[in-house]
Structure 1
């Protein structure tokens, strides 16, 4: 019977005959697959070799023809000589046993069954031979099948006469012995596997290279076989062959020359011809720290085909010409993939292994001929991956209203605040289950949608059972909807400060109880509810140009810092909201500004690049750029410039209220808050959402602590605002049950005001340059009353070299980059 493993052709009858040199026709050219190609990367020479079987694949005419020739020649596959020798020995042993049996069996009349079995086997063998010969065109194959039937077909005619001849004549014994000797000498079954013989094959095994003495059974072995069989490769050997991906023809290996010789430098055509690959898809490279006797071979036909396909793709051509070019919008960045949608083209971008991702929104918009930068959105992870979205029309023109389900806090502490440009929901946290209460910063110019966003957040707190303590320094005009709908709402500057002071006392109460019980963390509802303090229009108190007295501003600044330091472990979060923010707005306290951003930064449309920088500074990784929010949605390409050129009035699109860049945990995404319809100067839908659930309250003891503290500190704040001095303040305190005197430590002394931090110098420089380019000497003159000339020079150098906010226009003249 046929073996499942094809053997090696051989023309000699003896088992010790030499192995002929194989021809190249039976070997497949490669074994590619339909999987998408992957760009290969060089591997070390000690990479372990895998052993996948070779599979045929239709990859062009060449691959199909070579695979067909391989299938036709499977019966001529080579087999090791030791295996053939073992088979011949086994076959001869069978003949020896059969000879003894057919010598003894005919002499016994009771063993007629053996004669019947021999006759049946012979008849079956002839029937099998007849069936195999039907329609067969290859004479060599028919000869091969005939040779396998010889042991049975020859033995039956010789043993048949013994069934009818009585006695034991000498010729019966001689006949059996002669048959056994003939079969043992020829071993016809084993020899049948050696046909046909390869044409013009050499039989001198000593002259064959070592790589050709074994049959290639895997793709890796076939690559080494082809290299050794090629004339151009000489006596070199291909070792450590490793495929980059199973099913693809791409591979790499190490070419080794004989001792004392160098690996020859073959041209691309000769290298490709060795494996029958397209020219240019095989390269031979030197190995670092290795001599000329070893080189790294890389064969990547699918990668070459992929590059050719990319060159034919319009998007890749545009990317290579205008974006990734050395002078392009994003030099060196790689377009890994892209997909198109009805209103969007999404570009997946990666950075080279030795670079960080760098994507500039304005430059990319310019490269793709976009006049409206808001239609080009960029997201990166700050390391090596990025996503560019090109929109036909702005996807956030229309968003729906919020539902109670949107504003219900999920187990991870987040709520759905709006929609992102790609259709995903924008989520922000109200609480961090791992870290505790958080501190948020909401910044936006008038009309940016900051108040509507805060109303959604406060409504979410009421729906989710979070106690909301709110204060509005603009006499309650920014958030009138929350009046009477939250646990506490303070209106005005004094009420805002008193609300913050009472929240500090509430935290101290929780701190004392926690210390008594040995608690080191906070758990919602055990025993206290989560509290979030929202302070809106805080810039009316903390900004440098605020009309409040300096002692009042310093007092509030101290309260802010104290709340941030202790609130996280006490379930007391705080949220700042202002129209602008930088160090000067927070009393030159770097710690306060940093703590204000350990939660979420909601950065809407701002009026200055200074505010934008201060809000994002320290929370975004290098290379992540933030796109400013425009006032209006675009109405057409270059409409404002065209209108100015033609002397016409520019047409504005809808206002972008509610749009913001949200930063959380180092990640950045663009979001637009849910739509809110205004009627009678309020938002009825948001009011309905708040009133759909009961107002969460503090515990009974906490209500007393907060209420008493608020009344005390309200009197203190009003007296401090009136500028009545220490005597007037003390009288106000005594009149309201005596505010704790140690709280006056928050007033501090005035020595700190004479020593502003270095960072505040940068803020003032940015404020000055916001009006346009200015010479350094003029900047020093403008700030002469506040800072020394040397301090201004040093701060300007840091802004130019480190922060990158300032660029040099001409000698000694600076301007903002944005």
Structure 2
């Protein structure tokens, strides 16, 4: 509180009517009682004396006028105002009634003693009651309890008073009406925020007096009906005891109480010696209406470690899904505790969301904290990227893929799509992308045609000395999307091993050099492990540069993908099928009841990018008549489908037609080969891989080791390593070769021929 607050005009507003002082009230009561004694004596003897008629008439008319006035008050007032009017009319009405009864006694033959007894009774009641004097104190009490009666007209027996129209006016009125504030005033009122009741002011005593001792923290809290903790009193710098600075801040006090409670809870349950995560210190926090955010920093000798379930337990969260964690993988992290799950409600995508920026990014959904979740269609520095989309049936994987494909069309990216499930997973994309292949054979043919175009671009780039890809100069970006890839490369895929090798080889071809010519690749399936996708190490490395969208899958796969892709220490937990509170479900189980399932979590996923994990949800898409009309309309936002150059298109079409025919023929299990003996044709049950212009499938490390020993000579380990390419840029690691030799020895295919020497096992 600064002296500037009170340096301006200190003139006090006129003091309100404080009623009678005790001394004045005593004098008025004495005078009133003397008057009642004289009036009572006259009411007893006056009617029996011989006085002029007008004297008797005056007594009667006075009572009638007083009764009429009281009647008018009953029509205009009720409650406190009527009580005051009645109390002040009582002496006149009683006296006039007693006097009139004395006048009528001879006429109606009352005994002469009765009128005198009535006058004596009136006098006996009025003298101790002193109603006029008491009405002044009653009026003061009524104004204190019901301030609006201070605004009534003078005829209502309460002095006129303007009603406060501002917050400051109400504060001054509350101060003036409190008996503990004495004659002091509340001035220089400053409200901090129009939406909050907190304010500061100066208490000003009358000139030459000190602020009353009755003004303390408790009395001020009582005046404004706030907790004592919300009140602060202190002297005003540069002034004497006649001024006192006051601060009344109930909302600040409430926030402080919450802050202190959260800090104590964190220190006791999380970071303290007996906490669940010692050393994870709270350095700052923010309490909002729907969430609490906590900035955490690990001790200098510790790495950041914030497991969600332990935090939920420590912070008394009812459901671990309400606790979100993000870290930098080293020292700092942000913990967010929500009141309800933030991703239950989500909007639909717009064309603006799906328009790629110069950085190659689009918005495909929202993060848990409401910020947009972005993914890259390509990288200006790296070219084409590798993406993985994994999700069980009903997880929202198809909506994710369709949203990305719509973004590619809107952004001028060529989409080559192959759906191994006969086109059933992505029917909305058919006819709305540059190429759509349905079935396992079409998936292989799509890859072969993409490789053929990549070969063409490689030849042109080599001839021109280009070492990297520039968007639109001269070619468009091409992204190959392979849906339900697990039907071809999965552990239980029903395809011949030769076909799988062929597909794996082409994937490796695009992985190795395709990005340099503007080719990206996207895998999607219900249960993808990186080891299913050919060269696991390269795919893992490339996927870290792109996006892994991991929806609802089984927990084993969750942990496997997390260990492969996440390096910031974030705890990846499986996504449940429905939103709901685990605590409510447990209580229902205890009570033997059932809880209805909440909204489905379709579209919610962990987004793994650059070694970090973020919980997000894809923009909403509602299904109607077995399709997604909103996504279809987003496709149609761009009237033209991006396509190849004429030469590229010719190459793609020719390669696709040749490869599709060869793949279908191969998968049918039949081929026509020349019979060496009779010159005729015979049917082979299993032909070789399709003969196309696509690169041949690369040999596995196991096969390369066997080829190195195929001449029957004994080779030392270092010679085998050199033979298979250890030490070259794309070669395997030395440890991988040693592991392969050990496995082959276990299978009985190679034998040790001395220390550090190997040879093929002899043929039995």
Match of 1:151 in 2: none
Q: Which has the larger radius of gyration?
A: 2
1:749, distance to aligned residue in structure 2 (A): 10
Partner of 2:655: 709
Deviation at 1:597? Answer: 3.5
Distance 1:786 1:417, change over 3 A: farther
Identify the range of structure 1 (579-588 vs 742-751) with the bigger mean alpha-carbon deviation.
742-751
Match of 1:444 in 2: 391
Partner of 1:675: 620
Instruction: Quote how far apart the aligned CAs of 1:584 are.
Output: 4.3
Does residue 721 of structure 2 align to residue 721 of structure 1?
A: no
Distance 1:382 1:432 in 2: 24
Aligned to 2:410: 463
TM-score, normalised via structure 1 length: 0.52
2: CA distance, partners of 1:747 / 1:786: 16
Alpha-carbon distance between aligned partners in 1 of 2:657 and 2:442, rounded to the nearest angstrom: 9
2:662 is equivalent to residue 685 of structure 1: no
Residue 602 of structure 2 is aligned with which of 642, 651, 657?
A: 657
Q: How does 1:12-91 map to 2 (within 5 A)?
A: none
Counterpart secondary structure, 1:668 = strand
Matches within 5 A, 1:477-626: 477-587=424-534, 589-609=536-556, 611-626=557-572
1:644 aligned residue (583, 589, 599): 589
Instruction: Work out whether residues 542 and 553 of structure 1, in 8 Å CA contact, stay in contact via their aligned partners in 2.
Output: yes
Query: Residue 427 of structure 1: SS of its match in structure 2?
Result: strand
- What's the CA shift for 1:441? 0.9
Matches within 5 A, 1:184-583: 313-583=260-530
Contact 1:543 1:584 in 2 (8 A): no
Q: Determine helix, strand or coil for the equivalent of 2:617.
A: strand
Instruction: Tell me: CA distance 1:438–1:362, structure 2 relative to 1, closer, same or farther (3 Å).
Output: same
Mapped to 1, the partners of 2:273 and 2:672 lie a distance apart of: 66
CA drift at 1:385: 1.1
TM-score, L = length of structure 2: 0.55
8 A contact 2:449–2:694 mirrored in 1: no
How many Å apart are 1:571 and its aligned residue?
A: 0.5
CA distance in 2, matches of 1:341, 1:396: 17
CA deviations over 1:429-487 (Å, ceiling 9, x no partner):
11111221111111111111111011010000000111111111111111000100000
Distance 1:420 1:743, change over 3 A: closer
Q: Distance in 2 between matches of 1:752 and 1:586?
A: 19
Contact kept in structure 2, 1:560 and 1:592, CA below 8 Å: no
The answer as to whether partners of 1:372 and 1:638 remain within 8 angstroms in 2 is yes
Question: How far apart in 1 are the matches of 2:647 and 2:682?
Answer: 28
Note if contact 2:481-2:524 (Cα within 8 Å) is conserved in structure 1.
Answer: yes
Partner SS for 2:356: coil
Are residues 391 and 516 of structure 1, via their aligned partners in 2, closer, same or farther at CA, if it must alter by over 3 Å? same
Supply the distance in 2 between the matched residues of 1:472 and 1:447 (Cα, whole angstroms): 17
8 Å CA contact 2:604, 2:615 repeated in 1: yes
Query: How many angstroms apart in 2 are the aligned matches of 1:666 and 1:593?
Result: 11
The answer (yes or no) to whether the contact 2:328–2:568 under 8 Å persists in 1 is no
Indicate how the Cα distance of structure 1 residues 786 and 368 shifts in structure 2: closer, same or farther if over 3 A, else same: farther
Please name the residue that 2:756 is paired with. Answer: none
Residue 374 of structure 1 deviates from its aligned partner by 1.2
1:201-220: CA deviation from partner (whole Å, max 9, x where unpaired): xxxxxxxxxxxxxxxxxxxx
1:579 CA drift (Å): 1.0
Which ranges of structure 1 fall in alignment gaps of 5 or more residues? 1-33, 35-55, 59-308, 756-784, 790-818
Q: What is aligned with 1:800?
A: none
Question: What residue in structure 2 maps to residue 699 of structure 1?
Answer: 645
Provide the secondary structure at the position in 1 that maps to 2:408: helix
Q: Aligned partners of 1:398 and 1:607: how far apart in 2?
A: 24
Contact 2:453 2:652 in 1 (8 A): yes
